[in-house]
Structure 1
Amino acid sequence: MRTIKLILTGMAFAVFLAFVFFNWTDVDIALGPWSIVIKKPALVLLAFLAGFLPTYLMHIASRTTWKRKLARAEKAVTDTVIERTPPASVEPISIAKP
């Protein structure tokens, strides 16, 4: 699995480098009275991070919440005492005809 992840990460990085190489142009962003000149790859990277980071942070928060709930449930299970009762004795039934 690590090998596949490494290969896919390398391919994504190669695609990003190709994008950077072929699209190294300035982009003018006008925000009201302000104007910002930024390179196109930096703009794409910022847009990606603007979408990725909030989702990733929500994932981290959700995972932490579920870990805490699971730990609480496991503690409740280990704290409960279950008394074992011996099995009830049952008389064997004969179905032979007399």
Structure 2
Amino acid sequence: MDSYTLWYSLPFPSGGSTKDLKATYADLAEADEYATTVIRFVERGIFKPAPVDLLAMLEELMHRIDRIGDTASGDDKAVARRQHAYASLLDLVYRQFLEEGGPQE
């Protein structure tokens, strides 16, 4: 629940000044939208996973952000770090959601 609370209250990271960071910003926004299913689970107990493989999407996105961050400088390097941190938190929140709401054995 702590990771959910952090994610829910954390401001969405910016897009930076490069084309690549703006693209990862858009993809992160899409992933964030898919993750809203977690909110329905927490607030209403409705377990309905995203219609895409969100964990694979986030993993690919974090790799892209890492590559961009390796060559970025100044403010864009900081933007890449914030985008990666946000994606990592989203990954954690969604994994916990799947563990909590998935089939109980």
Q: TM-score, normalised by structure 1?
A: 0.30
Q: Greater share of strand residues, 1 or 2?
A: 1
Name which one, 1 or 2, has greater alpha-carbon Rg: 1
Q: TM-score, normalised by structure 2?
A: 0.28
